[in-house]
Amino acid sequence: MVGIKLTAEEMRYITFFEKLTDARLHDCVISDDGRSIIFVVKKGDMGIAIGKNGSKIKKVQRAIGKSVQVIEHTDDLNEFLNNFLSPVKILEVNLVEQDGKRIAKITVEKHEKGMAIGARGRRIQGLKKLAERYFGLADVVIA
């Protein structure tokens, strides 16, 4: 998380999540509308974070009253994108340069495009934030 500045609210959510789940977190992103939170767990802690039958995630969601997504951190871009978009199957990832900026163009099955983007674009919004933080991407486009 070099160079990433967390807000006081994000730090509170990280502390709360770690206490409730015993998983170690790498990052936390709150959606612009405040309705959802993405927690990025350290590699190897995904099972601990989720709990048996999703019990820990459900407990976190009830306690904070927001939609919660948990993904496992990795330094590999393709693995990160797959982790984030799961269960959507990525068919292809193309990294392109436009106006000196790196952009990831992700191709998914046509019937899964809506799931990849998410309700009101929340899912893709979170992916864009994390892709910029960890991989320096200016944009992520779902095709």
For the chain, domains (ranges, CATH) are 8-72 (3.30.300.20), 88-142 (3.30.300.20)
For 71, counting Cβ atoms within 10 Å of its Cβ (0-12 exposed, 13-18 middle, 19+ buried), the class is: buried
Report which of residues 105 and 121 the model is more confident about: 105
CA separation, residue 79 to residues 18, 26, 67 (Å): 23, 16, 23
Res 34: pLDDT: 87
Rounded-to-integer distance, Cα 37 and Cα 81, Å: 17
Q: pLDDT tens across 22-46, in order?
A: 999 989 999 888 889 999 999 999 9
Asked if residue 87 has pLDDT above 80, the reply is: yes
Rounded-to-integer distance, Cα 102 and Cα 83, Å: 20
